[in-house]
C-alpha cells in the first residue's frame, strides 16, 4: 500500500484575490474560503502543511496536531504564529517577503500627503458648502504642509521602510531611521528613537509586532512629538496604543494620523480610533498591501514555499 499523500490545507483561501496555483509536488489539497478559531483544529486534523494568513496558531493548538510539519504564512508578519512552539515541535514556518515592496510604500506616501495637505478635511468642507460661501476665490481655513523639506522618521528599516525612504527623498524630504526604542547604543545610519520622534514632521511605522514593539507608540511618545507632526501606520495595529492616539488627536497634541491597521481586524468590537469625534484621522481597511500585482506575488510565493518543502528543497524559513 502506498503512503498517503501529504495533506495541504489552506484555511483562508478568500483572503487573497489571486490565481492560487497548486504545488507541483504530489499532495492532497483542501481549501476553505475562511476559517474561524473554533474550526481550526478540526480542519487541520491529518494535515502535513497549512497555509494561513491571519488565523492564530498557538502552542496549545499545535500540540494537538502531531502530523503538522510546515506552516506557510501568506504574509510577512508572523505574529499570529507561536514560533517558539513551532521550533520546539520541529514545525517549519515560512513567510513571504518583499511582495508588497511597492504597494505599501505607495499607500504610506499617499496617507502622508493626505494628512499634510488636510485632504479629507477640505473635501468635507467643499461638500458642506463652505467653499461656495467663501468671500474670496479659494478656501484655506485648514493648515497645509508640504512634504518637501519635512523630516520623515521611519521606524523599521526593511524593504518597506527603505521603499518609502526612496520615494520620500525624491520629494525632497529629509529621511531619518529611528533606532529601536530599547537599544542601548545607536547604530550608524540611525537616530536614537526619542530624538527621531522629536525631530519628525511625519513618523511612519514599518516594524514587526512583537513583545518589544507592542504599544510602542503610546501617550509618552506622543507627548514628545511636534504638535504639527503626523503618524502613519501601515504595519500592525498593536504597535499603537489606540486610546492614547485618539486622545492625542482630540487634544491637538499631534496634528493627524492615518492607519491601515487596527488591533482587532475586522473591528467587531468598539475601537477608540473609530469613535466619530476623533479628528484628523484616516483609517483604511488593511488594504495597503492589496494591489492586484502584490496579491499575485504573495500567492505565488506562499505556494512556492509549500512546493519546495514537499520536494525537500531548501526553504526561506522563519522558524
- Catalytic site positions: 236, 265, 286
Distances in Å between the alpha carbon of 122 and those of 113, 126, 144, 250, 274?
Answer: 13, 6, 10, 19, 20
Q: Tell me the CA end-to-end span of the chain in Å, nearest whole number.
A: 34
C-alpha cell at 139: 478656501
Strand pairing partners for 271?
A: none
C-alpha cell at 195: 530624538
Determine the Cα–Cα distance for residues 232 and 206; give it in Å rounded to an integer: 9
Determine the Cα–Cα distance for residues 207 and 234; give it in Å rounded to an integer: 9
Determine the Cα–Cα distance for residues 25 and 31; give it in Å rounded to an integer: 17
Q: Give the DSSP letter of residue 317.
A: B
Those residues with Cβ within 8 angstroms of residue 192's Cβ, 6 or more apart along the chain or in another chain: 178, 179, 183, 186
What value does the CA radius of gyration of the chain take, rounded to a whole number of Å?
A: 22
Determine the Cα–Cα distance for residues 301 and 117; give it in Å rounded to an integer: 37
Q: What is the DSSP string of 88-117?
A: HHT-EEE---STTTTHHHHHHHHHHHHHHT
Cell 511618545 found at = 221
Do the strands 174-177 and 230-233 form a parallel or antiparallel pair, or are they unpaired? unpaired
Amino acid at each position: 500500500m502506498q503512503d498517503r499523500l501529504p495533506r495541504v490545507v489552506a484555511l483562508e483561501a478568500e483572503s487573497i484575490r489571486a490565481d492560487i496555483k497548486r504545488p507541483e509536488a504530489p499532495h492532497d489539497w483542501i481549501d476553505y474560503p475562511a476559517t474561524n478559531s473554533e474550526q481550526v483544529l478540526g480542519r487541520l486534523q491529518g494535515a502535513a502543511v497549512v497555509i494561513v494568513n491571519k488565523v492564530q496558531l498557538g502552542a496549545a493548538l499545535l500540540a494537538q496536531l502531531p502530523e503538522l510539519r510546515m506552516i506557510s504564512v501568506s504574509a510577512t508578519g508572523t505574529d499570529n504564529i507561536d514560533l517558539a512552539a513551532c521550533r520546539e515541535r520541529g514545525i517549519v514556518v515560512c513567510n513571504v517577503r518583499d511582495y508588497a515592496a511597492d504597494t505599501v510604500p505607495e499607500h504610506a506616501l499617499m496617507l502622508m500627503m493626505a494628512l499634510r495637505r488636510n485632504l479629507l478635511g477640505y473635501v468635507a468642507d467643499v461638500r458642506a458648502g463652505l467653499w461656495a460661501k467663501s468671500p474670496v476665490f479659494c478656501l484655506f481655513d485648514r493648515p497645509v504642509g508640504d512634504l518637501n523639506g519635512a523630516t520623515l522618521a521611519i521606524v523599521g528599516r526593511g524593504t518597506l521602510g527603505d521603499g518609502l525612504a526612496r520615494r520620500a527623498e525624491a520629494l525632497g524630504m529629509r529621511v531619518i531611521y529611528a533606532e529601536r526604542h530599547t537599544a542601548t547604543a545607536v547604530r550608524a545610519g540611525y537616530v536614537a528613537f526619542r530624538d527621531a520622534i522629536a525631530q519628525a514632521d511625519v513618523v511612519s511605522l514599518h516594524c514587526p509586532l512583537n513583545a518589544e514593539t507592542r504599544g510602542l507608540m503610546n501617550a509618552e511618545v506622543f507627548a514628545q512629538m511636534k504638535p504639527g507632526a503626523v503618524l502613519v501606520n501601515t504595519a500592525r495595529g498593536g504597535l499603537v496604543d489606540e486610546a492614547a492616539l485618539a486622545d492625542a488627536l482630540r487634544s491637538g497634541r499631534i496634528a493627524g494620523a492615518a492607519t491601515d491597521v487596527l488591533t482587532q481586524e475586522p473591528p467587531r468590537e468598539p475601537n477608540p480610533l473609530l469613535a466619530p469625534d476623533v479628528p484628523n484621522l484616516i483609517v483604511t481597511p488593511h488594504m495597503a498591501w492589496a494591489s492586484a500585482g502584490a496579491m499575485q506575488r504573495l500567492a505565488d510565493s506562499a505556494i512556492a514555499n509549500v512546493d519546495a518543502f514537499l520536494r525537500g528543497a531548501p526553504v526561506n524559513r522563519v522558524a
